[in-house]
Amino acid sequence: MMKKTIYFLTTCAILFSLGSCNSNKDSTAAADSVNRAKDITPNTMARGTLGVKVSDAEFATRAASNGMAEVEFSKIAVENAANTQLKYFARMIIRDYGKTNKELASIAEKKNISLPLTLDDEDQKKSIELNEKSRADFDKAYIETIANKNKKALKLMQDESKDGKDADVRTFATKAVSIAQSHLNMINVIHDSLK
């Protein structure tokens, strides 16, 4: 327990200092930096050793970032979407990625992977944009945003399921492929129904 507490506090301090030293670095980049430092740091007492290859850790940070963004955008959609199908879809995204994000966090903890704590800069800007859309313009903007996110997520998961080195991370990615594909298919059907 004490070791986990020291690790957690050290990781938080590193993420905080990285954020303070370079304000242009977003949460995903900061987590990647911490993971690379863990990979090469001989001081395992302070930071612990990264339990996977750096490429698997980078996948995890991107998957976590994407999952957080999809949940955040979908929470906005639940409040602002005019179309009831879209609201249902947004609730499904929140449920599915909420569960997936927890599963990834569990793997990350086990493998000593630092994940981003907040949306990256691009997704924070997109969140603000979506919040500022009028009700009439929101549905189209959300569909476009979430479709693009799901395309990226699908590619990310497919690549990791083929090329991942760690069995647990690769298995996670393989399961997530079907989720991302399902979401992409569903948002395309909703998009077509609104034409």
Q: Which domain holds residue 73?
A: 53-193
Q: Does residue 29 lie in a domain region? A: no
Tens digits of residue pLDDT in 39-66 = 544 444 444 677 788 899 999 999 999 9
Q: Does residue 38 lie in a domain region? A: no
Q: Does residue 99 lie in a domain region? A: yes
Q: Which among 50, 55, 54 has a CA at the least distance from the CA of 38?
A: 50
Q: Does residue 3 lie in a domain region? A: no
How many degrees, rounded to 5, is the angle at CA 85 between CA 118 and CA 153? 40
Tens digits of residue pLDDT in 131-167 = 999 988 999 999 999 999 999 999 999 999 999 999 9
Q: Does residue 128 lie in a domain region? A: yes
The fraction of the chain above a pLDDT of 70, given in percent, is 76
b/e map of 21-37 (b: 16 or more CB within 10 Å)?
A: eeeebbbbbbbbbbbee
Number of structural domains found in the chain: 1
Structure confidence at residue 91 (pLDDT): 98
User: pTM for the full model?
Assistant: 0.77
Alpha-carbon distances of 134 from 77, 91, 129, 140, 142, rounded to whole Å? 12, 20, 10, 11, 12
Name the DSSP letter for residue 117: S
Q: Does residue 155 lie in a domain region? A: yes
Q: Does residue 46 lie in a domain region? A: no
CATH number at residue 100: 1.20.1260.10
Q: What are phi and psi of 117, to 5 degrees?
A: -100, -20
Q: Does residue 115 lie in a domain region? A: yes
